A and B are shown apart, each in its own frame.
Chain A
Amino acid sequence: GAGVSQSPSNKVTEKGKDVELRCDPISGHTALYWYRQSLGQGLEFLIYFQGNSAPDKSGLPSDRFSAERTGGSVSTLTIQRTQQEDSAVYLCASSLAQGRKQPQHFGDGTRLSIL
């Protein structure tokens, strides 16, 4: 079946603009994760959705970052007033229920470049 789909694959924008990144998880996966990966670095946790529970937002670096998951499926990560340090690859992943014991399936990411 289809894997995790992210769009756009690349986004170039000017400093100060808002951006929206989209993630379509694997059908039937109730857990959804967002990570940020700077060049040559590891995966930095941003936010985690599990079913209808309140999301774990503990990884969001500032209040310019927010995310929604509508209808328990598609998620949108929004970055307001973008800064150059926001440049990175934003990865989305999904997993089956009981996410703590299930592997994460990653999308190809959105490469965000802030000019």
Chain B
Amino acid sequence: GENVEQHPSTLSVQEGDSAVIKCTYSDSASNYFPWYKQELGKRPQLIIDIRSNVGEKKDQRIAVTLNKTAKHFSLHITETQPEDSAVYFCAEHLIFGKGTKLSVKP
């Protein structure tokens, strides 16, 4: 079955610094890897995803990298801003990681 481990559980950075969150998955047949952002009291929303035919995908300040050999994928946020403060979740189909609470200090 699917199992997702996400690290770290909390992350505090200064505004302008970079943040990296990593997820490890279990099913080698998995081929779709999304990241969701959940602001306090709001619904989770997709911010970026990657399919297994590419190793990296960028969208402005966010990027996702995939290492299929090691079975992990990472979210990278550059030039962090206070509005990036939220809980971030990775997912492998039906199973979500436990989340990373990112705090960006102004």
A residues apposed to B, CB below 8 Å: 33, 35, 41-43, 45, 48, 56, 59, 91, 99-109
B94 touches A45 (CB 8 A): yes
Binds A, one of B13-21, B45-53, B77-85: B45-53
B residues apposed to A, CB below 8 Å: 30-32, 34, 36, 42-46, 49, 51, 89, 91, 93-99
Closest to B95 in A: A45
B89 touches A43 (CB 8 A): yes
B44 touches A45 (CB 8 A): no
Contact of A59 among B36, B49, B94, B99 (CB under 8 A): B94
B96 touches A101 (CB 8 A): no
Bound together, the chains give a CA A98 to CA B30 distance in angstroms of 13
Extra A-B contacts (20), CB below 8 Å, given A99-B93, A104-B36: A35-B96, A41-B98, A42-B89, A42-B96, A42-B98, A43-B44, A43-B96, A56-B94, A59-B94, A100-B30, A100-B31, A100-B93, A101-B32, A101-B51, A104-B44, A104-B46, A104-B91, A106-B44, A106-B45, A107-B43
8 residue pairs from A and B, CB less than 8 Å apart? A35-B96, A45-B94, A56-B94, A100-B93, A104-B34, A104-B46, A106-B44, A107-B43
